[in-house]
Amino acid sequence: MRHRRPSSARPSVNGLGRRLKRGKVRPGGCCGAEGQRARMVRSLYSIAAVSKNMGIGKDGGLPWPPLRNEFKYFQKMTMTPTQEGKQNVIIMGKKTWLSVPEEKRPLKNRINIVLSKELKEVPQGAYLSRSLDEALELLESPELANKVDLVWIVGGHSVYKAAMDKPIHQLLFVTRILHEFESDTFFPEIDFEKYKLLPTYEGVPTDIQEENGVQYKFEVYEKSI
């Protein structure tokens, strides 16, 4: 299968050594025919800010006012690898990619992969894959296999759901916005029989945050296999 390469140079590697649970990789297949095509990751990391009514987006943006510190949290978590000299991957759908201001794309210091069956042109500075499985397979390519550390899912709904349904170890980093906001895009339902709320997680604050009149808190859920 041929994968499309980015049309500009990759951002430089961020060498910070924040201690997140490490997403290890081993070759091989997964359960089912579709899974056998994909790179076998041991962990996927999803991160999202979610309102009380499960909203994550409105009209191509966020439903709530700008939350600078929450965005810094997103940046720090997704940007910081556990191994010096490697980069984290962020995987997103086309709408999520387009919601990022053009001058901010690609998101720096991370390998950006956009999922779309419609795009004909490779997004500048990113890779293009047709599905999550194809994106994970891309990470096994000679070009990327030795560069990748953690694999982060950053939206939108269908990409989160595809990741959350995979039968592998997962961590969900959910920012709970403690208000309802009108939304047109929503986070998938979390199966709390499978995903357990962790009482603490290193580096994640446990107290309620507030900025711009909006209260929120950080949560981490784990699905063990």
- pTM, two decimals, is 0.83
Q: Which of 33-42, 87-96, 101-110 has the lowest mean pLDDT?
A: 33-42
What domains lie within the chain, and their CATH numbers?
Answer: 25-191+216-223 (3.40.430.10)
Per-residue pLDDT of 14-65, as tens digits, reads 322 333 333 333 223 333 333 333 345 679 999 999 999 999 999 999 999 9
In contact, 150 and 23? CB cutoff 8 Å = yes
- Res 33: pLDDT: 35
Q: Which residues are catalytic?
A: 62, 70
Neighbouring CB atoms inside 10 A of 174's CB total 20
- Res 6: pLDDT: 54
Per-residue pLDDT of 155-176, as tens digits, reads 999 999 999 999 999 999 999 9
- Is pLDDT above 60 for 127? yes
Nearest to 81, CA basis, from 153, 162, 20 = 20
